[in-house]
Structure 1
């Protein structure tokens, strides 16, 4: 639940006396929960607010001013249903039943200060991951949530937890590649092949990384940009 604040005006914009760019980049979005049908408001990033500062080799984008990754989980304060915002409404009847049986009875609402921090984002992503496990979401969903948790730990410079969630993401991405219809989350077959290789590289599994990078480079249908990313990955392994 988002804490009530006198800073929220009738237009549901968020303002504070310090005129923070971060706060000005946020607004409260009205959401209807597909599980319990209650409405709630959640902090969201204005469309034109994010500014890309740089990109990491595993597709993580670093932003200045406001980090939209911090706000990618929607969490119903009434029933405890949490999911990535792109998946929030994509829930089936049997999954709704599972939420009501296994999540809601144990749910204790919590409040979050605005703006969200990396630690708050991690907690919300982990709640989304718990929901994904309970409702038997596809491996691609679990892979993306775990990867984004890893990215949040990267921002906190917590290498141990970052690698732990990269490993969990890898397991799910491998299953995604084998068993799911692609693309998923904007990632086509070749992007996922590269990403699997890059994640292996980041946890020190160089031989597996090289195998995936080589698969990308030798694939006839792979876009040139993805091939170049795979070559860069191979070069990093050779240099270090």
Structure 2
């Protein structure tokens, strides 16, 4: 697709940084533009036309604050102070093209992940950012980096499951139980995966769809072991 065609699916959104109150514009995907091609078993959505994941991270070039769109404005006061003390002194402004690709999106997600670590955001936030970095590496067929960030996602979500309030990034308890099973399966931790799949299936609050996905995961492990 040509650059002009891609730009037709984007618009400039005015953003106000919650840390330093700077105003900036961010390329944003029009709501009707993405076309879903398929969905992977760990909830990764594959798109045609334009990929919303590429434009999911907002970055303030003034203070260096970076976060996913869903989190950008939700920063608490004491976290804002941490950005100014831990992020801003190290920040070097950078410019990005209007049209982003996998590699640039990964760089931006890594900036969001660094922010999350430096200002001690919840484990679920670190887990979700890591998961999205893994997904983008999947698009690049970079198995080593995908595995690395799947491990980080698993670590974050494991802790979040025990300590945070649901829903977590739109995931109810049954969906996160299933995701923990799926991440373990993809990382070769089959026993842990089977335990999480089983918890999902026997949970009376699990949806039929999630139970079926867990059964598919269990079958994949059994098939691989025969």
Quickly name the TM-score band, shorter chain normalised: over 0.9
Listed as ranges, the gaps of 5+ residues in structure 2 are none
TM-score with structure 2 length normalisation? Answer: 0.96
SS in 2 for 1:27: strand
- TM-superposition CA deviations, 1:3-22 (whole Å, max 9, x none): xxxxxxxxxxxxxxx57432
Residues 27-54 of structure 1: CA deviation (Å, up to 9, x unaligned): 1111000111010111110011011000
Residues 68-147 of structure 1 mapped to structure 2, 5 A cutoff: 68-147=52-131
> What residue is the counterpart of 1:4 in the other structure?
none
Matched, 1:180 2:159: no
Specify the alignment match of 2:7 in structure 1: 23
Structure 1: runs of 5 or more not aligned: 1-17
Instruction: Give the structure-1-normalised TM-score.
Output: 0.91
Confirm or deny that 1:155 pairs with 2:139. Answer: yes
Partner of 1:198 in structure 2?
182
- What SS does the aligned partner of 2:58 have? strand
Identify the structure with the greater helix proportion.
2
Q: How far is the alpha carbon of 1:236 from its aligned partner? A: 1.1
Q: CA RMSD in A?
A: 0.9
Query: Secondary structure of 1:74's match?
Result: strand
Q: Is the contact between residue 86 and residue 119 of structure 2 (CA under 8 Å) also seen in structure 1?
A: no
1:114 to partner: Cα distance = 2.2
SS in 1 for 2:11: strand
Superimposed CA distance per residue, residues 134-163 of structure 1 (whole angstroms, 9 cap, x where no aligned partner): 111111111100000000100110001100
Runs of 4+ in 1 over 6 A off after TM superposition: none
* Count of aligned positions: 223
